[in-house]
Amino acid sequence: MSPEMNSVPNTIFSPELAARFDKLVTLYPARRSALIPMLLYAQDEVGAVNDAVIAEIAQRIGITELDVRNVISYYSLLHTKPHGKFHVQVCTNISCMLRGGNEMLAHCKEKLGIGNKETTPDGIFSLEEVECIGACCWAPAVQVNYDFHDNLTTEKMDAVFENYRQKAGKS
């Protein structure tokens, strides 16, 4: 691959991320192997893998936008619409379900006033029902962005919400 294929002139990403991507595509025997890490990094920076992200990543790797969309739609961790500042992921898989995961989800819905895969009007919280997040030993568990909250009760969950609401107020 010619080196000029790596970089994109009018990148939508920060210079650091763009530099990281320039390197990333050279690390694998096949360029498209870099696709999933690129999507995850881009999602963290931009907030979602929107059309602009898809277009640029397709261009960087040299695949079609359709290829990128095919992969995004396969993985539930990748989303094309922005989430709230704090994305609350409630596990309702077996262990959590047995320990009250469904009730936890219902509580979150009521508390936040939104349904599954929705975002609060102030953009602070979004809610999603997810499959196993690997915290079965401490069920029921909820993941907020990259942080875990486990052994939850509805009271503990309220405290979690309050904590994040304050964080949101500060920043």
Residues that bind other proteins (CB under 8 A): 64-67, 69-70, 73-74
Q: Which is nearer to other proteins, 69 or 111 (CB)?
A: 69
Token pair for 124: 């602070």
How far is residue 80's CA from residue 73's CA, in Å, rounded to a whole number?
9
Instruction: Select 64 or 163, whichever has its Cβ closest to other proteins.
Output: 64
Q: Closest CB to other proteins among 36 and 144?
A: 36
Categorise residue 125: left if φ over 0, alpha if ψ from -120 to 50, beta otherwise. Answer: beta
Side chain identity at residue 143, one-letter code: Q
Cα separations (Å) of 7 from 3, 51, 56, 76? 8, 19, 10, 28
CB of 33 to other proteins, least distance (A): 18
Radius of gyration of the chain from Cα atoms?
19
Structure tokens at 112: 């936040």
CB 79, CB 43: distance < 8 Å? yes
Between residues 64 and 116, which has the closer beta carbon with respect to other proteins? 64
Q: 70 or 153, CB closer to other proteins?
A: 70
In angstroms, what is the minimal distance from the CB of 50 to other proteins? 13
Q: What is the smallest separation between the CB atom of 162 and other proteins, expressed in angstroms?
A: 36
Q: How far is the CB of 64 from other proteins (least distance, A)?
A: 5
CB of 31 to other proteins, least distance (A): 15
